[in-house]
Amino acid sequence: MATTSLFPPSTGVRIAWALTGKFPKSEESKLSASLAEAALNDIEAQAKLDPTELKYVTGAKAMVQSSLRSLDTIYKGRELNFGENEKLRLAYLDTVKENLDFGNKAKDFLKSLPTMTIGSAGGVTIASALGMKGNILIGFGFVLAALGYLINVLIVRLMRKRTQMLFIKEDYDRDLYYDQYVARVTMTLASLYLDLNRHHEKIFGQAYSSGGNVGNVIDDILSGIKATFCKCVHKHMNQKKITPKLWPICETGDKEAIKYCRYWEIGC
C-alpha cells in the first residue's frame, strides 16, 4: 500500500479544526466536535484491519490531539483578549455616565442660582443681595436655565459621539484580536498538515502529497471565518477618519459599498 486510504493529512487537519467545536459553549459547535470525534474513532477502528494503516493512524491521531491542545490555548487567548476588551469598554462607559451626571448637575445648579440664599437671619437671595429687582431676577433665572440646558445638551451630544466611537473602536479591536486568532490557527493547522505528511512518509515510505498544497487546504477550511476589513481601515482608523456611518463599509470591505466612501479614492 503506497498511501493511506483512511486518513490523508487534509482529513486530519479538517478533523482537528472540527474538534475545536468543544471549546465554545454553543450546542451546535459541540455537536460538530462530537461528530468529528466519532469519525476519528471510526477511522482508528477500520485501521485495525491493516497493521501499516493502524501504525500510521495511531500516530496521526496523537498528532491531531496534540495540535488540539495548541488550538485550545489559542482559543483561550482570544477569549482573554475579548474579555479585557469588554472591561475597557465598561470602564469607559462609566466615565460617560459620570460626564452625563455632571451635565445634569450643572444644569440644575445654574437653574437654582437665582433662588439660592446667603446665610442670614432672613435668608436673603443672591439677587436681593445684588440689588436686583424682580423682573431682572426672572430674566437672570431664564439666562442661567438656558445656559444650564445648553451645557447639558453639549455634554450629551459629545458623550453620544464618544460612545458611538467607543463601540466602533471596540469592534475594531475585537476584529484585530480575531485576525490574530485566525493567523495562529492557520499556522497550527499548517504545521499539523506537514507533520502528518512527514509521518506518512515515515510509515508508507513516501509523502502523501508534496506539501505544496497545504496553503490551499488551510484556506479552504478557514475561508469562511476570515475578517473582511477594507484594506485602508488601519490607516483611516489611526487618522480618525472613520465615522459611525462609514464603519459598516470599513469592517465588511464590501467592494460595491467602498465606492461610496469619500476616503477610498485617496487610497491607503
Q: Are 54 and 203 in contact (CB under 8 A)?
A: no
Question: Structural domain tally of the chain?
Answer: 2
- Domain containing 35 equals 9-227
List of residues 6+ apart from 240 with CB closer than 8 A? none
Is there a domain that residue 3 lies in?
Answer: no
Q: Are residue 55 and residue 106 in the same domain, yes or no?
A: yes
Residue 3, CB-side half-sphere exposure with 13 Å CA sphere: 11
Q: Are residue 79 and residue 192 in the same domain, yes or no?
A: yes
Phi-psi label, residue 211: left if phi above 0, alpha if psi -120 to 50, beta otherwise: left
Q: Are residue 203 and residue 254 in the same domain, yes or no?
A: no
- Write the DSSP symbol of residue 22: G
With 0.75 as the threshold, say if the pTM is over it: no
Q: Which three cell numbers stand for residue 180?
A: 490574530
Is there a domain that residue 1 lies in?
Answer: no
Q: Are residue 184 and residue 233 in the same domain, yes or no?
A: no
Residue with cell 470602564: 91
Residue 267 neighbours by CB distance under 10 Å: 8
Task: Going residue by residue through the chain, which has 268 residues, state the pLDDT in tens, using 9 for 90 and above.
Answer: 589 999 999 999 999 999 999 888 878 888 889 999 999 999 999 999 999 999 999 999 999 999 999 999 999 998 888 887 777 666 656 565 655 554 454 445 444 544 444 444 444 445 454 454 555 545 555 555 555 556 555 656 666 777 778 788 888 888 898 999 999 999 999 999 999 999 999 999 998 876 667 888 888 888 888 888 888 889 888 888 888 888 888 888 888 777 778 787 666 6
